[in-house]
Amino acid sequence: IPRYFLMCLGYMSFGFLLGVWIRRTGIALFLYFSYVMFLELILRWVVHLKLFEHKTMQFYPLNAIEDLVPIPISDVAESFEKQFDFNFFLSPGEAVIASSIYISLFLFLAYRLLERKDL
């Protein structure tokens, strides 16, 4: 339950940052969903599969946040890990630390934006 709470807090803090930064509801929602579904995946593919392979591809903000709660079909990923010697998921400790850092960063940036902008 604590990791699920941290995951929800991470998604909400990222959405809050985008909402404060953009201030237009439709554009902020579009940017949020496009980042979650497309932009982070494309960025990981371009940077880590085309330029260099490294474990840092697992530490992108929303990937680290979604690795807090295990998925039900993790046996497929475990068989892939055994076959290709590559792990898709962060360990729970790594995910908690990375997510806490990202949540703090998102909230700090949103606070700084709120201080500077006149709402």
Query: Tens digits of per-residue pLDDT, 24-55?
Result: 888 888 888 888 888 877 877 777 776 666 66
Confidence at residue 111, expressed as pLDDT on a 0 to 100 scale: 92
Confidence at residue 101, expressed as pLDDT on a 0 to 100 scale: 92
pTM of the model: 0.79
Nearest-angstrom CA–CA distance, 119 and 111: 12
Confidence at residue 107, expressed as pLDDT on a 0 to 100 scale: 94
Confidence at residue 77, expressed as pLDDT on a 0 to 100 scale: 58
Confidence at residue 45, expressed as pLDDT on a 0 to 100 scale: 76
Q: Is 22 exposed, middle or buried (0-12, 13-18, 19+ CB in 10 A)?
A: middle
- Distance from CA of residue 8 to its chain's centroid? 11
Nearest-angstrom CA–CA distance, 91 and 34: 26
Number of Cβ within a 10 Å radius of residue 34: 11
Provide the domain count of the chain: 1
Confidence at residue 105, expressed as pLDDT on a 0 to 100 scale: 94
Question: Which tokens hold the place of 43?
Answer: 């960025």
Segments in the chain below pLDDT 50: none
Identify the domain containing residue 12 by its residue range. 2-116
Confidence at residue 83, expressed as pLDDT on a 0 to 100 scale: 60
Confidence at residue 76, expressed as pLDDT on a 0 to 100 scale: 60
Confidence at residue 109, expressed as pLDDT on a 0 to 100 scale: 93
Q: Are 9 and 66 in contact (CB under 8 A)?
A: no
Confidence at residue 79, expressed as pLDDT on a 0 to 100 scale: 63
Question: Which tokens hold the place of 1?
Answer: 């339950």
Confidence at residue 88, expressed as pLDDT on a 0 to 100 scale: 65
